[in-house]
Structure 1
Amino acid sequence: MRPFVFLLLFLLAPSISWAQTTAAAEAAAQATALRRANQLVLERRYESAWKLLKFLDQMNLDPAVALKKTELALNYYTATDELKRFAFRDLKLLDLSPDSLRQLEVDTPRYSFPVRRVLEKLQEKYPDNYKLDRALGDYYFAVQQCDCAEQELGEDAVFQRTIKHYQQAHDHGQGDYLSYFALGYSYQRLGKFQESLAPFERSIELRKDSPTTHLNLAFVYLELKEFEKAQAHARRAVELFPDDAHKEDAAYLLGQIEERMKATAATQTP
């Protein structure tokens, strides 16, 4: 029997080697295509990036490609049908931002990509891929921000799902300053101010110059009656916001905080 086994292994070796070589070549080709898609996004050629990703994985079976599609869809669409179909534009470097283009209602082709369904199907197959949880957190946060999908859920349920997926992602090392901000914001909007502190503070650790995070922390600390911390974050927000409108908002909150500090001090004076 032993010579037969050796002969069988000898005969199978070329096919095994070929399969390994093919898999390596496919992985390398995919990595090259994803890098190209990233470059197209940097060049603001969003529709071209989408077409490349669509060609790369038409059935949305590959987590890496689906995650890149999700990032592109949620951040760079010019129009959407309930976050299930998306329109994109290739922009010139000096063109309007995607947010501005959304206001123009330009008639462009729409590509099918039901974000939630795609990610949940992949999660069933790859339950340990926590990047999918991160993407689902991004999806539900986008739902709340645009108010353009999942109308049957209600805002509180959307925030709860946002928290669930971001917490799972963060517990497994999948997070950045934006996801921590979104988690803190979700707790804040649910009135869970104490729970919002840790993710907001983590967001600040990862991006110290984010004025929006400082502003939200100022509001939370005000609600918790930690006035000195609220004042410090509000002042930082005033410093960091680049435009007058947001500076005025932060300055108004700072004024409210300082009024509360004065009123509290007056009540404590014998």
Structure 2
Amino acid sequence: MMRLLSLFFLLCAGLGPAPARAQTAAGTAAAAEATALRQARQLVLERRYEAAWQLLALTDPANAVPAVVLMKTDVALNYYAGTENLHRFAFRNLKLLDPSLDSIRQLGQDSLRYAFPVRKVLERLQTRFPDNYKLARALGDYYFIVQQCDCAEAELGEDEVFRRTITQYQEAHAHGQGDYLSYFALGYAYQRLGQFRESLVPFERALQLRPTYATAHLNLAFVLLELKQFPKAQEHARRALELFPDDPHKEDAAFLLSQIEERMK
């Protein structure tokens, strides 16, 4: 009997600490992920994009951790040296005097070493974590970049890409996941679909968040011209002309302003 009791207590003693060990392991993993994310952000600031990607890939090789995948998505979409349909990527560690990423992309000489099918990865996580609206924001960014680079999703067609951009950004914005860039992109998607009235609110919201964003002023001026709201269109075109730092964009704003003023006569 004593042996049975002893065995019982030993088993209980062995089972007792298991939840604590599991919590400790989870806490350790979360701390490691947070450290990796901080280091990756620093590497991006240093323009060491390949090193940032390699660190993130080592931290979450299965693309199962939303915070790490979101950082991977940011690096993949904004700092790639080359891509194949936004499924495979090349990255570089750049030095101060190296060419810009745009110049490197145009050369198309980099080996596409890293597989990361952005849309597939994000959609899979969105299914697993439906309340993580940062994933909707990331998918909105993805579809907006698809349209800008014309480098993926050719089978969808441009209008469908814009519709998906709108769907994802609306969900993200409804849950507090937005900034001036995402509101501008939402307005731009409506604008390109010819839904000018729908584009007004997101463009105006973008300018509330970033009053000096010249591109939003320019696009809002165009939309207001289409809606025959000429004084407001003139105001935003003038503001865009003031804010753009470079001559080509100033010329675009000046041309639009001349068109508005011609219509006002």
- TM tier, smaller: over 0.9
Question: Which residue number corresponds to residue 226 of structure 1?
Answer: 229
Equivalent pair of 1:43/1:93 in contact (CA under 8 Å): no
- TM-score between both structures, scaled by the size of structure 2: 0.94
Equivalent residue in structure 2 for 1:60, among 63, 68, 93: 63
Cα distance in structure 2, aligned partners of 1:228 and 1:180 = 23
Query: How many residue pairs are counted as aligned between the two chains?
Result: 258
Cα distance in structure 2, aligned partners of 1:18 and 1:179 = 42
Structure 1 residues not aligned, in runs of 5+: 1-6, 263-270
Equivalent residue in structure 1 for 2:260, among 257, 262, 267: 257
Equivalent pair of 2:88/2:112 in contact (CA under 8 Å): no
Question: Which residue number corresponds to residue 93 of structure 1?
Answer: 96
Pair 1:21 & 2:24 matched: yes
Pair 1:137 & 2:174 matched: no
Q: CA deviation at 1:9?
A: 7.0
- TM-score between both structures, scaled by the size of structure 1: 0.92
Equivalent pair of 1:176/1:203 in contact (CA under 8 Å): yes
**What residue identity is the alignment partner of 1:56?**
T
Q: What are the equivalent positions in structure 2 for 1:90-239 lying under 5 Å apart? A: 90-239=93-242
Q: Please give the secondary structure, in 1, of the residue aligned with 2:107.
A: coil
Pair 1:246 & 2:224 matched: no
**What residue identity is the alignment partner of 2:195?**
K
Question: Which residue number corresponds to residue 52 of structure 2?
Answer: 49
Equivalent pair of 2:81/2:110 in contact (CA under 8 Å): no
**What residue identity is the alignment partner of 1:126?**
F
Deviations 1:76-134 (A, max 9, x none): 11111001001111111332221121112223342100001101111111111111111
Structure 2 residues not aligned, in runs of 5+: 1-8
Q: CA deviation at 1:25?
A: 1.4
Cα distance in structure 1, aligned partners of 2:204 and 2:98 = 35
Question: Which residue number corresponds to residue 87 of structure 2?
Answer: 84
**What residue identity is the alignment partner of 1:108?**
S
Cα distance in structure 1, aligned partners of 2:223 and 2:57 = 42
Q: In angstroms, what is the RMSD of aligned CA positions?
A: 1.6
Farther-moved stretch of structure 1 (97-106 vs 38-47)? 97-106
Cα distance in structure 1, aligned partners of 2:54 and 2:157 = 33
Deviations 1:130-160 (A, max 9, x none): 1111111111111111111111111100000
Question: Which residue number corresponds to residue 6 of structure 2?
Answer: none
Q: Please give the secondary structure, in 2, of the residue aligned with 1:44.
A: coil
Equivalent pair of 2:240/2:253 in contact (CA under 8 Å): yes
Q: CA deviation at 1:21?
A: 1.6
**What residue identity is the alignment partner of 2:235?**
A
Q: CA deviation at 1:13?
A: 3.5
Q: CA deviation at 1:23?
A: 1.1
Cα distance in structure 1, aligned partners of 2:233 and 2:65 = 45
Identical-pair percentage: 70
Cα distance in structure 1, aligned partners of 2:162 and 2:112 = 31
Q: CA deviation at 1:208?
A: 1.1
